C-alpha cells in the first residue's frame, strides 16, 4: 500500500489525474475501470482536456464497475449515465472503447474482462462506511466476483439520492465484487473530506474485515490510496 | 487464480519446478520465498541438479517465510535448517543469497524485503486445515504482516513433529502474515494427497474467510494453485 | 543480455524448454513465436510431453516468424509445415492457437500481432553467418519490419536444402524483420555446435552491424542467449 | 514506437511531465535518467511544483546519462550542474537520490545501474543531427556501452556553447552509449521546433543507421516519441 497524503480536494484530483494518465500513455491496449459519484468530479474536469480527441489515447478502454439499473430498465443505468455525463461524453470517448457492465451481462463480465486482457487500473472511491463500488458492508463477501445484490428497504433508502423519482429505485443492483476488483493489476483509491476520515482510519489501521469492505484492498500488491488532510484527520 | 490439475505428486513436483525456474531465469535480481516441509521434497530433488553451481542463477535470492526457533535459541530454527537440508545446501546456494527471517528481525523484515525489491514469487504449501506459512486458523488475522505468534498448549502440540526432543519446543514462532504474503508479485501453492482435499475444496469454493486462511490467497491477482488428483478429489 | 553457457546440445535444449515453459505458465493470453530448423529438435522432443493436451497451456498462442512458400503456393510453406511436424501436431496444439505468417498476410502481420497484445517471447536460432529468422546478411536492414525478400540465384541456392524438389524453390520468402523482432517483450536465442562459434563470437564481441544481423538483438533489454561449449569455443 | 503529436512546445512539455510522473508514482524504487539542455526547460518548470518536497516521490532516483567535464576537473561537470540548476535543486531532490555519471565511474556505471535494478525510464532529447545523449554521429557505435569520447577540434567546437570560458573545454566527454540506453525498460524522447524536423523525419522513416544514431532507439520495444507540429513539419 502506497499512501499519498495531499493538501486538499484539488491536489487529490490532480494526483489522481497524473496516476491515471501514467497508465493511459502505455503502448498497446489499456483497460481502465473508473468511478462515478461526486469525489472524482474535479478529477474529470482536469482530465478531460488532456484526453479529448487525443489520438494517443485511442488505445484506452473504459469499464464501469457497478450499475444501478432503473426499475423500468428501459434506459441505461445510473452509473454508466453518470460516467457519460462526468467524463465519457465531454471527453469524446468512442462508443467502441466503452465496455458496459449491467444486469444483462454481469454473470459473464469477469470472464469478458479477462479475455480483454484484464484491467490495468481501477480507480475507486471510498464510502464513509468503508464500501467500494457496490460492496456495502454485508452486501457482498470477500470471495464474491461480479454479482447482483438484492435491495431490502434499508438498501433502497440509501439509493434514494441517486434518483430524481423514487419510483425508479430498483429491486437490485450490480457490482464487481471484492474478488473481481482484486484481479486488477493496479488499484487507486481516492478519499477527500472529513466524512471519509473514519473509513480511512480503518484502512490504515491494518485490520481487514468485511465490516469495512475496502480494508481488503489494502492487501492488493499494487494499491495506492490518495487522501487529503481532511480525510486523514483521524490518523 | 489459475488452477493446474495434474495427475500425481510427481507431476505436481515437476510443474512446480518449471514455474519456479521460469522466475529464476529472469535477468537481474530475483527474490524467491520457498517452502519447507514434506510436500516440496520431490520438487527440490528435481530442482537441485538444474540449479547447483549454475552461474545463470547467481541472481536468485532465497527467503524463508516462517521460522520455529528452538527454545534455547542457540542454533538456527527449524524452517531454515530444513530448507538448508532440503535444498540450499545440496544446491550449493551461496550464503549471501540466503536471507533469513527469524525472531531477531521479524519486526523489520517486511521493510527489508521491500528494499530488496519485493518478492518475485512465493512458493507455498497448503495445510490440511487451510493454513499457509505459520498462519494457522485463528493465529493471525488477514491484516497481519510478519508477526510473532505465541504458542498455547494446543499449538505446541502441533509443533511436536518438528522436534526430536520435545524440550526444544518454543513458546512462540515467527511467520510472514497474510498481508506480507499478498505483497509478493506472484504466489504459487502446491497441494498433494487426499489429506489436502478438504482444504483445496474450500479454496476452490469461492469463500474467503479466516477459518481457512489460505482462501485469502485466491484473491491475489497472480495466484497459481497446483493440485494432484488426490488433492482435487473433493471437487 | 544474459548469456547462459551450458555443456552440450542436450542441456541447451533443456534450458530452452525451461525458459519457454516459464512464459507459458503465465495466466492470461501468452503469445510465443518459435523457431523451426534442426537446432530446436531436441528441445521440442522434451517440450511435447509437458504441453500435449495440458489444459494449463490453452492460453498459449504460437506464431511462425518467417515463411518460405512453395513455388506453386498450393500448400502451406516450409516453415509452418516444419513447425507442425516438429511440435504443433505432436503436441496437439489447437488450430485456433496457431497464427500463421505467410505471403498473403505479411504486410499486415506486425499490426495483427500488436492487436493480439504483442509477442511475449520469441525463440530464435542463430545462423552460422549471423542471421536470424530470414534476416540473412544484406537481405534486410535493421529498420525493416515484416517483409518479402526476393531471392536471387545465390539465395535460391541456400534454400535448396529446404526442398525435396528444386522445382519448388520460390522466388521470394517472408520474414519478420529486425524491427518486428525487437518489439517482442523477450528474446531467447539458442546456438549449439562449432559451426555456430564464429557467429556467437560476433554476438559477444559487442559489435552491432548488419554484416551479422543477430548482433542487433543483443541490444534488446530482455535478450537471453543459450550456448553450448562448442558454440562458445571461440570466446 | 508510439508517436505522440502535440501542438506546440507547451503541450510537449506537459505530456512529457505526465509520462514521467506515471513512472514516478510506482511503488518501490524508481530509476529515471533525465536530460538537460534547453528542450526540457519548460517541462521541468511544470514538473517541479508537483515533485518538490513530496514524500510520495522519495522512492525516485535520478541519473545523468552523459557528462562533459570541465578541463580542470575541479568541479562538477556541465551536465550534472545543468540538471541541478534546471531541476534537482529547485525540486529539493535529496543528494542520496542523485546518481552521478562522470569521468571517474563511467567504466563501471552500466554494472552499477544494473545492480540498482536498471533504469525504469530514460527521457531523452533529440539533436538536429540525430544524436541522443553524447552519441553524436560517428562518435560511438551501436554496440557501445557507457564510454569516453575523445574530442577532436571539430567536436570541441560543438562544445563551445556549453562553456562560458573556452579554456574550460575538455579533451573528452562521457556518455551512455546506444547499448546502455537500449537496456532501459522505457525510453521517452522529446523534440520541438523546426530545427529538429529533419532528424524527426529520419526517425519516422524506418531507417536505422549510425548516421542518425537516434534511429536505433525506434527499435526499443517501449519507445515513445513526443513531437510538436514544428518538429513534425517534414513528415
Q: Does D23 touch chain A (CB under 8 A)?
A: yes
Chain D: closest CA distance from residue A125 (Å): 19
Q: Which residues of D147-183 are buried (b: 16+ CB within 10 A; e: fewer)?
A: bebebeeebeeebeebbeeeebbbeebbbbbbbbbbb
Active-site residue (options: D66, D120, D228, D230): D66
Per the CB < 8 A criterion, the answer to whether B224 and B4 are in contact is yes
Task: Give the whole-angstrom CA distance, residue A143 versus residue A163.
Answer: 30
Task: Give the whole-angstrom CA distance, residue C131 versus residue C173.
Answer: 15
Q: How far is CA B43 from CA A161, B40, B130, C51, in A?
A: 58, 5, 21, 19
Per the domain annotation, does A235 fall within a domain?
no
Q: Does B206 touch chain A (CB under 8 A)?
A: yes
Chain D: closest CA distance from residue A137 (Å): 29
Per the domain annotation, does D215 fall within a domain?
yes
Task: Give the whole-angstrom CA distance, residue B221 versus residue A74.
Answer: 36
Active-site residue (options: D129, D144, D168, D198): D129
Q: What is the pLDDT of residue C178?
A: 98
C-alpha cell, D95: 543528494
Active-site residue (options: A129, A144, A168, A198): A129
Q: Which residues in chain B are closer than 8 Å to D29, comparing Cβ atoms?
A: 117
3-class secondary structure, A225? strand
Task: Give the whole-angstrom CA distance, residue C204 versus residue C198.
Answer: 10
Q: What is the pLDDT of residue B161?
A: 86
Q: What is the pLDDT of residue D161?
A: 86
CB contact under 8 A, C118 and A28: yes
Q: Which of A148, B220, A104, A64 is nearest to A139 (CA)?
A: A148
Q: Does B25 touch chain C (CB under 8 A)?
A: yes
Provide the CB-side half-sphere exposure for B138 (13 A, CA): 5
Q: What is the pLDDT of residue D119?
A: 98
Tell me the three-class secondary structure of chain B, residue by residue: CEEEEECCHHHHHHHHHHHHHHHHCCCCCEEEECCCCCCCHHHHHHHHHHHCCCHHHCCEEEECCEECCCCCCCCCCHHHHHHHHHHHCCCCCCHHHEECCCCCCHHHHHHHHHHCCCCCEEEEECCCCCCECCECCCCCCCCCCCEEEECCHHHHHHHHHHCCCHHHCCCEEEECCHHHHHCCCCEEEEECCHHHHHHHHHHHHCCCCCCCHHHHHHHCCCEEEEEECCCCCCC
- Judge whether A129 counts as a catalytic residue: yes
Q: Does D71 touch chain C (CB under 8 A)?
A: no
Beta carbon pairs, B and D, within 8 Å: 9
Q: Which residue among C14, C18, C55 sits closest to B25, beta carbon to beta carbon?
A: C18
CATH number at residue D204: 3.40.50.1360
B148 bridge partner residues: B174
Q: What is the pLDDT of residue B162?
A: 87
CB contact under 8 A, D29 and B117: yes
Chain C: closest CA distance from residue A51 (Å): 22
Q: Which of D109, D142, D86 is nearest to D31 (CA)?
A: D109
Predicted TM-score of the model (pTM):
0.97
- C-alpha Rg value of chain C to the nearest Å: 17
235 residues of chain B, pLDDT tens digit each = 999 999 999 999 999 999 999 999 999 999 999 999 999 999 999 999 999 999 999 999 999 999 999 998 789 999 999 999 999 999 999 999 999 999 999 999 999 999 999 999 999 999 999 999 999 999 999 999 999 999 999 999 999 988 989 999 999 999 999 999 999 999 999 999 999 999 999 999 999 999 999 999 999 999 999 999 999 999 9
Q: What is the pLDDT of residue A124?
A: 98
User: How many C-beta atoms surround the C-beta of residue A116 within 10 A?
Assistant: 13
Q: Does A222 touch chain D (CB under 8 A)?
A: yes
> Backbone phi, then psi, for C64, in 5-degree steps?
-85, 150
Q: Which residues in chain A are closer than 8 Å to B142, comparing Cβ atoms?
A: 208-209, 216, 219
Task: Give the whole-angstrom CA distance, residue D113 versus residue D115.
Answer: 5
Chain D: closest CA distance from residue C213 (Å): 12
Instruction: Measure the CA angle with vertex C61, ends C55 and C66; round to 5°.
Output: 145
* Active site positions of C, annotated: 66, 129, 131
Task: Give the whole-angstrom CA distance, residue B94 versus residue C136.
Answer: 43
Per the domain annotation, does A233 fall within a domain?
no
Task: Give the whole-angstrom CA distance, residue A15 versus residue A43.
Answer: 9
Pairing mode of beta strands B147-150, B172-175: antiparallel
3-class secondary structure, C150? strand
Chain A: closest CA distance from residue D216 (Å): 18
Per the CB < 8 A criterion, the answer to whether B13 and B42 are in contact is yes
DSSP string, A105-151: THHHHHHHHHHTT--SEEEEE--TTS-BTTB-TTTS-TT--SEEEE-
B223 bridge partner residues: B187
Per the CB < 8 A criterion, the answer to whether D221 and C184 are in contact is yes
Q: What is the pLDDT of residue D74?
A: 83
Which residues of chain A from 31 to 70 reach within 8 Å of chain D, CB to CB?
50, 55-56
Q: Provide the domain limits for residue B67.
A: 2-228
Q: Which residue among A179, A185, A215 sits closest to B219, beta carbon to beta carbon?
A: A179
- A194-207 mean pLDDT: 97
Q: What is the pLDDT of residue A86?
A: 97
If one counts the domains in chain A, the total is 1
Q: What is the pLDDT of residue A197?
A: 98
Residues of chain C with pLDDT under 50: none
Q: What would the pLDDT profile of A4-59 be if each residue is shown by its tens digit?
A: 999 999 999 999 999 999 999 999 999 999 999 999 999 999 999 999 999 999 99
Task: Give the whole-angstrom CA distance, residue D162 versus residue C110.
Answer: 43
Q: Which residue among D179, D208, D216 sits closest to C141, beta carbon to beta carbon?
A: D208
Per the domain annotation, does D11 fall within a domain?
yes
* Category of C191 on φ-ψ map: left (φ > 0), alpha (ψ -120 to 50) or beta: beta
**Chains touching B, CB cut-off 8 Å, 3+ pairs:** A, C, D
How far the first Cα of chain B sits from its last, in Å, is: 16
3-class secondary structure, C125? strand
Task: Give the whole-angstrom CA distance, residue B144 versus residue A219.
Answer: 10
Q: Does C206 touch chain D (CB under 8 A)?
A: yes
CA C233 to chain centroid, in Å, comes to 23
Active-site residue (options: D61, D102, D131, D228): D131
Task: Give the whole-angstrom CA distance, residue D19 versus residue A218.
Answer: 26
- Residue A142 binned pLDDT confidence (cut-offs 50, 70, 90): very high
235 residues of chain D, pLDDT tens digit each = 999 999 999 999 999 999 999 999 999 999 999 999 999 999 999 999 999 999 999 999 999 999 999 998 789 999 999 999 999 999 999 999 999 999 999 999 999 999 999 999 999 999 999 999 999 999 999 999 999 999 999 999 999 988 989 999 999 999 999 999 999 999 999 999 999 999 999 999 999 999 999 999 999 999 999 999 999 999 9
Q: What is the DSSP letter of C95?
A: G
Q: Which residue among C141, C185, C215 sits closest to D143, beta carbon to beta carbon?
A: C215
**Chains touching C, CB cut-off 8 Å, 3+ pairs:** A, B, D
Q: Which of A183, A190, A172 is nearest to A134 (CA)?
A: A172
Residue B162: partners with Cβ closer than 8 Å, 6 or more residues away? B68, B78
- Judge whether A66 counts as a catalytic residue: yes
* Percentage of residues in chain A having pLDDT higher than 90: 96
Q: What is the pLDDT of residue B58?
A: 97
CB contact under 8 A, D143 and C178: no
Per the CB < 8 A criterion, the answer to whether A224 and A186 are in contact is yes
CB contact under 8 A, C222 and B25: no
Q: Does D118 touch chain B (CB under 8 A)?
A: yes
Average pLDDT score over chain A:
97
Its ipTM equals: 0.96
Q: Which of A163, A201, A178 is nearest to A131 (CA)?
A: A178
- Which residue shows C-alpha cell 551461496? B94
- A2: exposed, middle or buried (Cβ count in 10 Å: 0-12, 13-18, 19+): middle
Per the domain annotation, does B235 fall within a domain?
no
Q: What is the pLDDT of residue C73?
A: 79
Beta carbon pairs, B and C, within 8 Å: 47
Per the CB < 8 A criterion, the answer to whether C140 and C177 are in contact is yes
Chain B: closest CA distance from residue A85 (Å): 31
Q: What is the pLDDT of residue C161?
A: 86
- A183: exposed, middle or buried (Cβ count in 10 Å: 0-12, 13-18, 19+): buried
Q: What is the DSSP letter of A157?
A: H
Q: What is the pLDDT of residue A162?
A: 87
Amino acid at each position: 500500500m502506497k499512501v499519498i497524503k495531499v493538501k486538499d480536494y484539488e491536489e487529490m484530483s490532480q494526483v489522481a489525474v497524473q496516476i491515471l494518465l501514467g497508465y493511459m500513455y502505455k503502448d498497446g491496449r489499456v483497460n481502465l475501470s473508473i468511478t462515478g459519484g461526486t469525489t472524482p468530479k474535479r478529477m474529470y474536469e482536469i482530465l478531460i482536456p488532456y484526453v479529448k480527441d487525443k489520438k494517443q489515447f485511442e488505445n484506452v478502454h473504459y469499464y464501469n464497475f457497478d450499475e444501478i439499473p432503473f426499475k423500468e430498465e428501459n434506459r441505461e443505468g445510473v452509473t454508466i449515465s453518470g460516467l457519460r455525463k462526468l467524463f465519457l461524453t465531454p471527453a469524446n470517448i468512442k462508443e467502441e472503447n466503452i465496455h458496459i457492465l449491467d444486469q444483462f451481462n454481469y454473470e459473464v463480465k469477469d470472464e469478458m474482462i479477462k479475455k480483454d486482457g484484464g484491467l490495468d487500473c481501477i480507480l475507486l472511491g471510498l464510502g464513509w462506511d468503508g464500501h467500494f463500488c457496490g460492496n456495502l458492508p454485508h452486501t457482498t463477501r470477500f470471495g464474491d466476483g461480479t454479482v447482483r445484490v438484492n435491495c431490502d428497504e434499508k438498501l433502497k433508502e440509501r439509493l434514494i439520492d441517486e434518483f430524481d423519482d423514487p419510483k425508479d429505485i430498483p429491486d437490485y443492483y450490480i457490482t464487481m465484487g471484492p474478488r473481481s476488483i482484486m484481479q486488477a493489476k493496479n488499484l487507486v483509491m481516492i478519499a477527500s473530506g472529513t466524512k471519509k476520515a473514519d473509513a480511512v482510519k480503518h484502512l490504515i489501521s491494518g485490520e481487514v474485515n468485511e465490516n469495512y469492505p475496502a480494508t481488503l484492498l489494502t492487501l492488493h500488491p499494487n494499491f495506492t490510496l490518495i487522501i487529503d488532510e481532511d480525510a486523514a484527520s483521524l490518523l
